[in-house]
DNA sequence: GCGACATAGTGAGACGCCTCACAGTTCGGC
DNA sequence: GCCGAACTGTGAGGCGTCTCACTATGTCGC
């Protein structure tokens, strides 16, 4: 790995405890306990497009995002792929395989250069026993995840392209007028789970209707309420 | 409610602790703790087709199945519905809404007459704090659930009718030669998420090929390996 | 035994989305 | 400023699935 510009990235001796405390999972924990856990955590850097783990791997650890963005995808035997989830600063991921000891359910790749904290199973499980408030917090996080995934199943079963695209755009743009997302239409097609061509055609329609504006790798939602309407119908 | 035949069903004073101990979640717990928890648990009976909870309800409690079967479904605004999950003796359900305090994500109905144990949020959360091994067990269960739901997303994105139907049949019939499932084709269509007519046509094909036999509300898989082959392609 | 109802089977037409093919546009590197 | 690569836009044809409409076959209550 070449040296990076930011000095923090070269020194694994940054204050891990402080980073941990920023995370949802450890927020209600006292300083001492945080430092204790931090002692077990490893800092790991990944370059843009690097593979963090692959579907089918044995999953020994859980990750927390310190900086950057991570994409979790899955792919079929015929090479099609779809986005399952995206994580940013403050999120944790990789917990399923860690908790039930079975293989990874998806591929994780670095969407940008990023800095992650990893905690191994053998260190993490005892923490859960000693600090049940962390286990409870984790249960909440997992519930939210399950809720989101269930919603995704519903979307796939009941909604057509327009609805799913509308919903995805609202998520990506933040839902406020003028909110925008930076990605290519082919990236977008993978998130929605449809062909690039169809995505393009629908975007054209909305562009003509003044619902959004299109530019190269950028998409600005002008009237989110219209998308909302379409998504909930 | 009319009186039921089985005397146990009329007496809520059955040994709740013993029932609890049969459940995955409480298996590793000592007898005293079980009795403590059992004191909080309520026994609740539901008739076939009764609604246990509905999507959007506030979810204050978690259920454990003592006897019978429960179906969790979801439905779209246009009245279509799809099966999310099915639970039997020894399973627990309804934990998402309990854990994150948000509304129910699906409708739960009694598939048969059934007997459930319910634990309320205000009683359950303190138990998790005092007994972290239960929290960890619950984390495992939730991970498995998330894994299964993610798999469902993949199926919906990548597989066609044949594949999804094959997979569903394997699950329902147990996967062994001669395994059978008792449901109507229209019930089956809801589990697969496709129209009854298409399901019927594909079943005809397999029936002609000798992969399975069809009867009214009964379906016997003769050659599961053929279905396996189709499902994994 | 009869009528009502749930279940199963089948054809025809429509519709949504996919794939392929190709042209036009923008961007970055040299 | 030119070239190649990434991205965007668009038509045509095909395939899978849905819907509608209808018939056939049990099955249950009376």
* Nearest residue (CA) to C1' of C6: B184
Report residue B5's pLDDT band, with 50, 70 and 90 as the boundaries: very low
What does residue B214 show for φ and ψ, rounded to 5 degrees?
-115, 140
Question: What pLDDT does residue A14 have?
Answer: 66
Is A18 in CB contact (< 8 Å) with chain B?
no
User: Which of A76, A78, A128 lies nearest to residue B136, judging by beta carbons?
Assistant: A128
Matching residue, tokens 């999310």:
B84
Question: What pLDDT does residue A6 have?
Answer: 39
Instruction: Compute the mean pLDDT over every residue in chain A, rounded to the nearest whole number.
Output: 91
Q: What is the pLDDT of residues A106-132, one digit of tens each?
A: 999 999 999 999 999 999 999 899 989
CA–C1' gap, B164 and C12, in angstroms:
26
Task: Find the mean pLDDT for residues A68-82.
Answer: 93
CA–C1' gap, A67 and D9, in angstroms:
36
- For strand D, is any atom closer than 7 Å to the CB of A216? yes
Tell me if residue A99 falls in helix, strand or coil. helix
The one-character DSSP state at A233 is -
Model-level pTM?
0.91
Question: What pLDDT does residue A11 have?
Answer: 45
Tell me if residue B144 falls in helix, strand or coil. helix
- For strand D, is any atom closer than 7 Å to the CB of A232? no
* Nearest residue (CA) to C1' of C20: A197
Strand partners, A107: A73
Closest C-alpha among A198, A167, A166, A170 to residue A185: A198
Tokens of B84: 């999310």
Which residues from B are below 8 Å from A151, CB to CB?
105
| pLDDT top residue among B88 and B5 | B88
Which residues from B are below 8 Å from A142, CB to CB?
99, 139, 142-143, 146
Separation CA B135–CA A37 (nearest Å): 19
Task: Find the mean pLDDT for residues B181-205.
Answer: 97
HSE-up of B193 (CA within 13 Å, CB side)? 27
Is A151 in CB contact (< 8 Å) with chain B?
yes
Which among A154, A155, A159, A192 is the top mutation candidate for probing chain B, defined by the most B β-carbons within 10 Å of its own β-carbon? A154
Separation CA A126–CA B103 (nearest Å): 32
Q: What is the pLDDT of residues A2-47, one digit of tens each?
A: 434 433 344 455 688 888 888 888 887 888 888 888 899 999 999 9
Chain A, 84 to 103: residues with Cβ < 8 Å from chain B are 84, 95-96, 99-100, 102
Question: What pLDDT does residue A4 have?
Answer: 40
Question: What pLDDT does residue A10 have?
Answer: 42
- For strand D, is any atom closer than 7 Å to the CB of A182? no
Q: What is the pLDDT of residues A172-181, one digit of tens each?
A: 999 999 999 9
Q: Is the pLDDT of residue B58 over 60?
A: yes
CB B117 within 8 A of CB B38: no
* Nearest residue (CA) to C1' of D15: B160
Inter-chain residue contact B147 with A233, CB threshold 8 Å:
no
Question: What pLDDT does residue A69 have?
Answer: 95
| pLDDT top residue among A32 and B189 | B189
Distances, alpha carbon B128 to alpha carbons A124, A125, B139, in Å: 17, 15, 11
Report residue B4's pLDDT band, with 50, 70 and 90 as the boundaries: very low
């Amino acid at each position: 790995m070449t040296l990076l510009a930011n000095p923090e990235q070269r020194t694994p001796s940054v204050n891990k405890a402080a980073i941990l405390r920023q995370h949802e999972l450890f927020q209600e924990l006292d300083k001492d306990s945080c430092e204790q856990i931090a002692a077990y955590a490893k800092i790991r850097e990944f370059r843009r497009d690097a593979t963090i783990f692959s579907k089918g791997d044995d999953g020994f650890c859980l990750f927390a995002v310190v900086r950057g963005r991570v994409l979790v995808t899955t792919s079929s035997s015929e090479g099609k792929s779809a986005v399952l989830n995206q994580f940013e600063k403050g999120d944790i991921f990789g917990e399923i395989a860690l908790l039930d000891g079975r293989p990874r359910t998806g591929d994780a790749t670095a969407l940008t250069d990023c800095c992650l904290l990893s905690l191994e199973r053998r260190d993490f499980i005892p923490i859960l026993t000693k600090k049940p408030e962390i286990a409870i917090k984790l249960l909440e996080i997992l519930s939210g995840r399950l809720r989101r995934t269930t919603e995704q199943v519903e979307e796939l079963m009941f909604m057509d392209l327009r609805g799913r695209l509308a919903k995805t755009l609202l998520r990506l743009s933040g839902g406020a007028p003028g909110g925008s997302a930076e990605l290519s239409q082919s990236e977008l097609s993978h998130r929605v789970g449809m062909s690039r061509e169809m995505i393009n055609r629908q975007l054209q329609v909305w562009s003509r209707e003044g619902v959004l504006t299109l530019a190269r790798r950028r998409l600005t939602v002008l009237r989110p309420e219209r998308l909302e309407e379409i998504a909930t119908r």
